[in-house]
Amino acid sequence: MEATVLMEQAKQNILHTYNRFPIVLDHGQGVYLYDTDGKKYLDFTAGIAVQALGYGDQEYNEALKAQIDKLLHTSNLYYNQPIIDAAEKLCAASGLDYAFFTNSGAEAVEGAIKTAKKYAYLKDGCTDHEIIAMNQSFHGRTLGALSVTGNAHYREPFEPLPGIVKFADYNDLGSVKALITEKTCAIIMETVQGEGGIYPAEEEFLRAVKEICVKNDILLILDEIQCGMGRTGEMFAWQAYDVKPDLMVTAKALGCGVPVGAFVMTKKVANASLKPGDHGTTYGGNPFVGAAVSKVFDIFAQRNLTAHVKEIGGYLETQLEQLKSEYDCIADRRGVRLMQGLQLNIPVGDVAAKALQQGLLVITAGNNVLRFVPPLVIEKEHVDEMMEKIKVVLSSVTEH
């Protein structure tokens, strides 16, 4: 069926909450996607940092096929081995102690917020605790996740939102200190801000926030949904800072295409927060997603993907810096390894649209930032191919 027909069909039945690019994707292989017309696209979006292994990875696919034939779902009234294995590997990779599996990143954020509130409630019996979040942050679109998302554009139509949340400026310690009260129960932030424009946390800032949390028995929640799972060259971005959170949320590449998220916590937090009946989910942690998560960790270890990301990510950084020096329309480059952003002084939407015409998939972030979050399995040749395409795009845009 022609793409135009399919897109018109979609408009009849799918709620218009996304302004989609005008292509219908059909299949993928490696780091390439193909539309229904057979056109090939180099993918530097990875389904918004999800497809860490690219497309058509046989080892991953076979693990899922085997689990489909064995057992898909049981509910959390019973144990199942795949999620037990997945939890063990997630805790080992993060150095945290207990995991709760969800269906999405937003749900993981919700669970972390509930954990922090219950932790504080058990200390003093009060329900008026406050959370400090960061301006320009993004944590999801459910009401709880929106409440800690530091962008008024997302929040305002749905206010009043649950909880008492105050917003500090990212990488500004003074703004955090100014908001601390005896009612502060948690500080939540992305280790690298994604949707806000690709801003990594400064080491001094993150360490100082951790010290504040330790001193005041405030829980530090680090959101690793986009920046985690190897994208920065560490399994989780905070590991490069050696600043261990009390709670961590993860999703996206955790399942490499299977919808799954998790919030993970220390033993101290687990022993003094959620109890049976406080939180639950029907689908979260079922055997199918457990098999996916478990296999993802196996593949990361077997192929030493974090080392690969450090190598290729360094190459990508170098090439983007060179690009910045060649084009006046690039104001800045930010990011870590395979999570990069170019701040443009021309309309970034036009650049993304023209890149699509060149067979390159890139997306935007924050205020006029072109975002690069490719599959972690890309090679230097794919970076070179991307650079050729983006140069054509930038040259065409700046000529007019």
Q: Tell me, yes or no, whether 393 lies in a domain.
A: yes
First-to-last alpha carbon distance for the chain, in angstroms, is: 36
Q: What is the pLDDT of residue 357?
A: 97
pLDDT of residue 222: 99
**SS3 at position 188:** strand
- For the chain, the domain total comes to 2
In this predicted structure, what is the pLDDT of residue 398? 83
Predicted pLDDT at 30: 98
Q: Do both 25 and 98 map to the same domain?
A: no
* Whether residues 83 and 7 fall in one domain: no
CATH number (domain holding residue 197): 3.40.640.10
The mean pLDDT value for 325-339 works out to 98
Regarding whether 287 and 168 lie in a shared domain, the answer is: yes
What percentage of residues in the chain have a pLDDT greater than 70? 100
Average pLDDT, integer, range 156-176: 97
CATH number, domain at 385?
3.90.1150.10
Considering the domain architecture, whether residues 131 and 190 belong to the same structural domain is answered as yes
Claim to verify: residue 102 and residue 200 sit in the same structural domain: yes
Average pLDDT, the chain: 97
Residue 281 has pLDDT above 60, yes or no: yes
The yes-or-no verdict on residue 23 having pLDDT over 70 is: yes
Checking if the pLDDT of 400 tops 60, the result is no
- Residue 17 is part of which domain span? 3-57+304-398
21/19 Cα distance (integer angstroms):
7
Strand partners, 340: 335, 372
The whole-number pLDDT of residue 174 equals 98
- Give the pLDDT confidence score for residue 399 in this predicted structure: 72
Q: Is residue 159 part of a domain?
A: yes
Q: How far apart are CA 127 and CA 183, in angstroms?
A: 9
Which of 283, 303, 323 is a domain's end point? 303
Residue 36 has a CB neighbour count (10 Å cut-off) of 15
Distances 288 to 62, 103, 207, 291, 295 between C-alpha atoms, Å: 12, 12, 38, 5, 11
* The residue to which tokens 């080992």 are assigned: 92
> Which of 284, 303, 322 delimits the end of a domain?
303
Q: Which of residues 303, 326, 352 is at a domain's end?
A: 303
The secondary element (H helix, E strand) that includes residue 373 is none
CA dihedral 381, 387, 392, 393 (to 10 degrees): 130
Q: Are residues 247 and 295 in the same domain?
A: yes
Residue 115 pLDDT > 70: yes
Cα 257 from Cα 275, distance rounded (Å)? 30
Is 64 inside any structural domain?
no
Q: What is the DSSP letter of 41?
A: E
For residue 61, give every residue at least 6 positions away whose Cβ sits within 8 Å of its Cβ, in sequence order, or none. none
Q: Are 209 and 220 in contact (CB under 8 A)?
A: yes
Same-domain pairing of 257 and 141: yes
The predicted structure's pLDDT at residue 137: 98
Q: Is pLDDT above 90 for 40?
A: yes
Q: Which of 2-6, 85-89, 103-107 bottoms out in mean pLDDT, i.e. has the lowest?
A: 2-6
Would 13 be classed as within a structural domain? yes
Mean pLDDT of 190-214: 98
Q: Say what the pLDDT of residue 1 is.
A: 67
Same-domain check for residues 322 and 289: no
